[in-house]
């Protein structure tokens, strides 16, 4: 079953900076969900994923800013932010 992300973060302008993705797994995945996953991984100490296979179970997105953005780049961005949050805490 295809899951389509309905969360508000798909309209987050933060994701406008992400590169377009024209091919890989990340293309149809929600960059917002990928960002959240990366941040979560950093905060709970999961090693940073090395490829976009980590995104396989995420919801897909068809709308707005995150459409066709590189979700794996969003994951990496979330991971970096998660590390910063961890250092502050």
Report residue 57 as tokens.
């179970």
Q: How far is the CB of 80 from Zn ion (least distance, A)?
A: 19
Is position 86 an interface residue for Zn ion (rule: CB under 5 A)? no
Closest CA to 12 of 85, 61, 80: 61
* Window 16-75: residues binding Zn ion (CB under 5 A): 30, 32-33
Pick the closer one to Zn ion by CB: 70 or 88: 70
- Percentages helix, strand, coil for the chain (3-state, rounded to 5) are 60, 5, 35
- Under the rule (CB under 5 A), what is the footprint of Zn ion? 5, 7, 30, 32-33
């Amino acid at each position: 079953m295809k899951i389509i992300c309905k969360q508000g973060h798909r309209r987050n302008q933060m994701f406008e900076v992400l590169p377009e993705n024209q091919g890989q797994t990340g293309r149809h995945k929600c960059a917002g969900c990928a960002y959240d996953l990366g941040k979560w991984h950093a905060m709970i100490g999961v090693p940073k994923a090395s490829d976009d296979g980590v995104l396989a179970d995420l919801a897909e997105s068809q709308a707005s800013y995150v459409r066709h953005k590189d979700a794996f780049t969003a994951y990496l961005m979330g991971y970096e932010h998660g590390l910063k949050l961890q250092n502050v805490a």
